[in-house]
Structure 1
Amino acid sequence: MNNSTSSTKRPTRVYDCFSDHDIGTVHGGGGGSRTKTGGPHLDAVYKEIMQKKEALFDRFGYIHIPYCSMRCKYCGFYKYSISSAHIDRFVELLCVQLKNTAGFPYTKTAPFKGFYFGGGTPTALDVSQLKRILTILNRDYAFADDREITIESTVRELNDQKISLFKEHGVERLSIGVQTFNDEIRSYLGRKTSGLEVESFLKKLRKKEFTVAIDLIYGLPGQTMDSWIEDIKRFIDLGIDGISLYFLRIFPQSPLKKEIDKGKTPLMVETSEKMEMFLWARDYLFQNCFRQIGADHFGRNHERNEYLLATYHNSDIFPFGMGAGGKVDHLSFFNTLDFNRYEKMISAGNTPAMGGFIKDDDAVYMDYLNGQILTGCCDLSKIDRMFQKNTLEIFKDLIEELENKGLLSIQGDLIILTGWGCCWHSHVNTEFGKAYDRRFHSSEEAFDLTCSGESLAPHHPMIGHRSHTQ
């Protein structure tokens, strides 16, 4: 994609782009028709699909481990403590779900390109629990030769035993929730390790020949442009493979939100300065030979991040564990986050879904288009061949509007997100969904994804890629 931002048109104010919305809060307007389903009907649809003997899409697995040893102040997704009485039972039920799914004809139609362990903190599980899960994957699932198994972790939760276990069981990639190397900010967030200890640990993982990626968050309490620049430079000096740059989201029920309301947080920068942090980091990463894989993810060397690309390419993502979301064929669904419901459904031999929907062809088209836009460089000619559409004509007015706002540009058959467009990627995609619905559907009402009073897990493809919760 175009790595230059020097000629990018910038809005005079960040909020000139999209009213008064905050970044990362808009998920509606997907475009296309989605027939809502749930309960016994969803289970019946799922089991019918799983009897198919041919597959239309590449496939990945997503395993959600909703347990942590501690809750980070900014986290809005924390569900269960690692000390929960039911964690052993959860692992047992997860293994049952993995075994049952492996037995369906649809699962066997093609090899898996990878699995992704997210949470929560997957490495909060002990060695024996992790070994049980990895053993089932390697025994019961067929994998492509270039597979990629990724496990998220923190420095605190990843010891030598777990590292050895991962090497023995073919884990290729580790995603480490660093968030910042700054000791003062780490202390405020409750992190027990220093920035130097984190650096030493990441160097150790490199020597073990894992592909290593980290998360950094911009906009943290006490963070300044200078401390952010130092974080990025320290990352570059480590020589590791990938990095995600996440805007700090303030979740209503998080400890951080409560401290903000009480006026107890260190000084926090304004939204416009957060955007400048992202733009500076993006430019600096390009200068150091990184390529942009997604709107907020960058890689070099061995970094592929196949799971992220799978969410962009409308691949099948088989969801396992409480709170996991994904899709098989044209059915998108999300598992319950409630342990008792999960236990009851798995014990009865049913899919543990709390709700979902069946996509029509328009919804598949829009999901693929949205995914390609998130890569930063969307090839319209490829999409039009795949779906027999004229995308440039369908979105002519919107594309002109977004170009005028400095969020994207058209270069031949390519839609290129600018640096500002990457900052506002969730909103850009939402606008495409709304424009499609206005043109082809009578209702503009966004589909309600919160069935049964539960909320989606952060990695759910219907939310988009998450802000790291660790």
Structure 2
Amino acid sequence: MSSIYIHIPFCKQACHYCDFHFSTSMGKKDAMIQALIRELELRKDEFRDEVVDCIYFGGGTPSVLETEEITLLIQTVYTHYQVTTDPEITLEANPDDLSEAKIEALHASPINRLSIGVQSFFEEDLKLMNRAHNATEALQCIMLSRKRFQNISIDLIYGIPEMSTARWIQNIEQALALDVPHISAYALTVEPKTALEKFIKKGIIPPVEDEVAQAHHAILVERLEAEGYHNYEFSNFGKPGAFSQNNTAYWEGKSYIGIGPGAHSYDGKRRAWNVSNNPRYIKAISQDMLPQDVEELTLTDQYNEYVMTRLRTQKGVSLSEVQTLFGDKMHRYLLQQAQSHIEAHFLFQEADRLYVTKKGKFLSDGIAADLFMLNLFQHPFDQNSNQS
């Protein structure tokens, strides 16, 4: 399974918490579309032996594009890549873009999955985050979308300043009442150089509290699992058959190509990322140059990547796979580092696998960091350790 991610770097307005690459100016939209098409053409040999199972439009706000522009990009993928007979093709969309006419047009296109950035069903939360839509639009667009799309996901954000437990529960219950098959939920984080960070420093907005976010996450897991959702990855909940193929591919370490400014790519051995600047990206692509930096991953990097991604999933870390991929020494190191977390009931071992417990779930990234190997010089593992 391989996927293609296409980054659409445009938004109507900037959300206060967002640090993704985007522009609120649409002046270069046509040039950007042509650049995205050209990058897809230039990079086709990277997936010469791969079959594409997923095409994912992220951003930014992909729903600001015309449906014809989205379709053109999809057709370009089909022209230059091997695509499976029934790929998952997801479009991230904001509620204010999803009019009935837009939904009808998207339904008639190759798009077969919508990921709707609701974030909250409460006006006060949406205003604090500077979202472009309102609570009424959030409800209406989901009800309209459900008439045309079976495969829908919504995003929710918890741990918002002044969001009470009662209001968070109401958000969850509203999502359940709408019967969406997939929910992605994220703790509000304060990223550097964002408006949210500035407002908190100035005392305009209260600080984000980790304890509140942790409590909200625990409520979320318990409630959604009671309704038949599987928490297949820390932030993602799906009913059987509705797990995001794109998310699953990412957390299982499958290859993906990132198209567009700021987009990342990964093939298991190296990671690449495009320049996060629209004019520079367009200029480079127009000269048939890929404006990207590339990092070759050492065996240590690959081990750390494996532990980080797998620990966040319901499948956990396969100890036998660690031994096969990285060798006996790294296998022993992993078990040694995991022991204190097992004793603290943050991790548990069952047969061949290490899993995060419910108690440790919210701490999974920190636990993974404790299992990391810092570098090959601090531990006696060389590049050939998988042969030992």
1:147 to 68, 87, 110: 87
User: Equivalences for 1:298-313 in 2 at 5 Å?
Assistant: 298-313=237-252
Relative to structure 1, the CA distance from residue 79 to residue 379 in structure 2 (aligned partners, 3 Å threshold; closer, same or farther) is: closer
Report the Cα distance in structure 2 between the residues aligned to 1:162 and 1:303, rounded to whole angstroms. Answer: 23
In the aligned structure 1, how far is the partner of 2:336 from the partner of 2:147?
51
Deviation at 1:214, TM superposition (A): 1.1
Pick the aligned partner of 1:348 from 275, 280, 287.
287
Q: 1:194 to 1:144 in 2, by over 3 A?
A: same
What residue number does 2:3 align with?
60
Mapped to 2, the partners of 1:96 and 1:429 lie a distance apart of 38
Unaligned segments of structure 2, at least 5 residues:
383-388
State the shift of 1:78 in Å.
Answer: 4.8
Structure 1 residue 200: Cα displacement: 2.7
Aligned length: 380
Match of 1:77 among 15, 20, 42: 20
The separation in 1 between residues aligned to 2:217 and 2:100, in whole angstroms, is: 34
Give me the whole-angstrom Cα distance separating, in 1, the residues matched to 2:320 and 2:109: 37
Match of 1:91 among 15, 23, 33: 33
Q: CA RMSD in A?
A: 2.3
Q: Say whether the 8 Å CA contact 1:131–1:165 is kept in structure 2.
A: no
Cα distance, 1:365 vs structure 2: 4.0
Correspondence 1:205 to 2:148: no
How many angstroms apart in 1 are the aligned matches of 2:374 and 2:201?
Answer: 37
Please state how far the C-alpha of 1:268 moved relative to its aligned partner. 5.3
Q: Which residue of 2 aligns with 1:126?
A: 66
Q: Relative contact order (alpha carbons < 8 A, sep ≥ 6): 1 or 2 greater?
A: 1
CA deviation after TM superposition for structure 1 residue 234, in Å? 1.0
Residues 84, 400 of structure 1: CA spacing in aligned structure 2 closer, same or farther, 3 A cutoff?
same
CA distance in 2 between partners of 1:388 and 1:251 (Å): 34
Residue 253 of structure 2 aligns with which residue? 314
Q: For residues 303 and 256 of structure 2, what CA distance do their matches in structure 1 show?
A: 17
CA distance in 2, matches of 1:204, 1:440: 58
- Is the 2:190–2:196 contact (alpha carbons within 8 Å) kept by the matching residues of 1? yes
Give the letter for the 2:36 counterpart: L
Q: For 1:422 and 1:129, how far apart are their aligned partners in 2? A: 40
Q: Which amino acid aligns with 2:35?
A: L
**1:244 and 2:187 aligned:** no
Aligned to 1:323: 262
The answer for the alignment partner of 1:4 in structure 2 is none
Structure 1 moving runs of 4+ over 6 Å: none
Distance (Å, rounded) in 2 between the aligned partners of 1:99 and 1:165:
26
CA–CA separation in structure 2 for the residues paired with 1:146 and 1:230: 36
The corresponding residue for 2:118 is 178
Shift of 1:421: 2.7
1:117 and 2:57 are equivalent in the alignment: yes
Query: 1:253 aligned to 180, 184, 193, which one?
Result: 193
2:12 maps to a residue whose letter is S
- Contact 1:174–1:210, Cα closer than 8 Å, also in 2: no
The residue matched to 2:153 in structure 1 has which SS? strand
Please list, as runs of the form range in 1=range in 2, the aligned pairs for 1:258-297 lying within 5 A after superposition: 258-265=198-205, 267=206, 270-297=209-236
Partner of 2:327: 389
Could you give the per-residue CA deviations for residues 134-192 of structure 1, whole angstroms, max 9, x where no partner exists?
22223333212342111111101233444334333322211111111112222333345
Q: Aligned partners of 1:440, 1:312: CA distance in 2, in Å?
A: 28
From 392, 414, 426, give the equivalent of 2:353: 414
The DSSP-based 3-state class of the residue aligned with 1:430 is helix
Provide the C-alpha distance between the structure 2 equivalents of 1:352 and 1:420, rounded to a whole number of angstroms: 43
- What's the CA shift for 1:232? 0.8
Mapped contact 2:317–2:354 kept (Cα < 8 A):
yes
Between the aligned residues of both structures, percent identity stands at 23
The answer to whether residue 304 in structure 2 is matched with residue 371 in structure 1 is: no
Separation (CA, whole Å) in 1 of partners of 2:133 and 2:333: 51
- CA offsets 1:323-363 (integer angstroms, 9 cap, x no match): 0001246231100012232123212222220x221224453
Normalising by structure 2, we get a TM-score of 0.90
CA contact under 8 A between 2:237 and 2:243: conserved in structure 1?
no
Residue 441 of structure 1: how far off its partner (Å): 5.6
**What is the TM-score of this pair, normalised by structure 1?**
0.75
The CA deviation at 1:254 is 1.4
For residues 201 and 85 of structure 1, do their structure 2 counterparts lie closer, same or farther at Cα, with a shift above 3 Å needed? closer
1:47-74 alpha-carbon deviations (Å, 9 max, x no partner): xxxxxxxxxxx32111111210011111
Give the superposition deviation at 1:88: 1.6
Paired amino acid for 1:77: F
Distance 1:199 1:263, change over 3 A: same
Could you say what secondary structure the match of 1:415 adopts? strand
Which string of whole-angstrom CA distances, capped at 9 and with x for unpartnered residues, describes residues 402-449 of structure 1? 22343211122221112343212222222222367543469xxxxxxx
| In the alignment, structure 1 residue 220 sits paired with structure 2 residue 160 | yes
The residue aligned with 1:108 is 48
